[in-house]
Structure 1
Amino acid sequence: MKKILLFVWETAKIVIVSLAIIIPVRYYLVQPFFVRGASMEPNFDNGQYLVINEIGYRIDQPKRGDVVVFNYPLDESQYYIKRIIGLPNEKIEIKDGAVFINDVALDESLYLPETIFTRGDMAVNLKNREYFVLGDNRQASSDSRQWGILPAKNIVGQVWLRAWPLNMAKIF
């Protein structure tokens, strides 16, 4: 009987210590996220499991090219994933299939194939703490072209890890 109680006590200690570590990490440092839809293809596919770094933007600001998860500004109960294109206080212009930042063409060759063009001619001037985001699949993405700017307060965090599928696992 003493061995059983000792086993139960040791198991309970392991569970309590594990929860004391896991819960703060989950709620303050990282968050799981499942990609839903095709808006970030070819870089992130529907059904992929990502881990989001929630603490990084408390220390630093988002950078152009970062892939972020955020609360959709028109319905904050929804989470979206997009790429940061425009930074605070910049002029963003889309014309003739290209993106311009302060009148300079944006080189997106690191994350987009040459065959992808950005439709929807427009121009916007961002204010402080405002971002312009686009999906990588420009033809199938609801993004800043449709619903406007992304307030900094809506950003949950940056994509840190693609954990699933395992053959595509990658740290960003």
Structure 2
Amino acid sequence: MEVPVLTGVDPGREGRLSLDRPRDLLLRVGDEVLAWFKTLASAAVYATLIVTFGVQVARVEGQSMAPTLADQDRLIVSKLSYRLHDPQVGDIVMLYYPIDPNKSFVKRVIAEENDVVRIVNGRVYRNEVLINDEYVPAEYRSHEDLGPLVIPEGYYFVMGDHRNNSSDSRHWGMVPKKYIIGKVQLRWWPIPKARIF
């Protein structure tokens, strides 16, 4: 009886390869799992650092910043901005609600420390100069009077752009700097209304 001969195949080598294949497969799978784990761990660390020190994603709830921001708009808030410099008048900020710091709001900075704020028939004066608030349509204005108020050191006076539908510094007082989470940098949702601030 004649035994068929396979050309180009070393029977000893073929046998060894067949035994090594499961081990090779396990090594490759192990390397792949380790690579994925490293990637996910790195992403988790970066995400934690970004959220802790850099940026935060926020959602607008309510109409107090209309028409600039609408209910359910999604925002990117830079927490790093105010570690580098103080909030500026006109900035849109995310802040902890002074009465209940477990809640957060989005408002506009109207005045900073040592400024004098006065509201006459809904028109806002900062240091006796009428502020340029053309972003507030006539139908969103209030007609109240307030002040004059001197803003203490380390505090800010904030208001919603929808002046007759906003709970803000007119109602709960000034906001300490430590309660300002960050500067609203971007509205990213809805996409057709995406905008940098």
TM-score scaled by structure 2? 0.82
Q: Work out which of the two has the higher radius of gyration on C-alpha atoms and give 1 or 2.
A: 2
- Alignment match, 1:82: 107
Kindly state the Cα deviation for residue 152 of structure 1 after the two structures are TM-superposed: 1.1
Alignment of 1:120 with 2:144, yes or no, is yes
Q: Distance in 2 between matches of 1:129 and 1:55?
A: 18
Kindly state the Cα deviation for residue 115 of structure 1 after the two structures are TM-superposed: 4.4
Q: Distance in 2 between matches of 1:113 and 1:157?
A: 26
Deviations 1:5-41 (A, max 9, x none): 1211111121122222221011111111110001001
- Alignment match, 1:9: 34
**Secondary structure of residue in 2 paired with 1:41:** coil
**Secondary structure of residue in 2 paired with 1:15:** helix
Superposed structure 1 runs of 4+ greater than 4 Å apart? none
Deviations 1:84-110 (A, max 9, x none): 00111011000022111111111112x
- Alignment match, 1:32: 57
Alignment of 1:168 with 2:175, yes or no, is no
Q: Which has the higher helix share?
A: 2
Kindly state the Cα deviation for residue 138 of structure 1 after the two structures are TM-superposed: 0.7
Q: Distance in 1 between matches of 2:132 and 2:186?
A: 24
Matches within 5 A, 1:141-156: 141-156=166-181
Q: Distance in 2 between matches of 1:138 and 1:58?
A: 29
- Equivalent pair of 1:54/1:157 in contact (CA under 8 Å): yes
TM-score scaled by structure 1? 0.94
**Secondary structure of residue in 2 paired with 1:9:** helix
Q: Distance in 1 between matches of 2:143 and 2:102?
A: 28
Q: Distance in 2 between matches of 1:104 and 1:169?
A: 32
1:100 to 122, 125, 149: 125
**Secondary structure of residue in 2 paired with 1:99:** strand
- Equivalent pair of 2:64/2:165 in contact (CA under 8 Å): yes
- Equivalent pair of 2:115/2:127 in contact (CA under 8 Å): yes
Matches within 5 A, 1:38-77: 38-77=63-102
- Equivalent pair of 1:40/1:135 in contact (CA under 8 Å): yes
Pick 1 or 2: higher relative contact order, CA cutoff 8 A, min separation 6.
Answer: 1
For structure 1, list consecutive stretches of 5 or more residues without a partner in the other structure.
none
**Partner letter of residue 28 of structure 2?**
K
**Secondary structure of residue in 1 paired with 2:182:** strand
- Equivalent pair of 2:141/2:162 in contact (CA under 8 Å): no
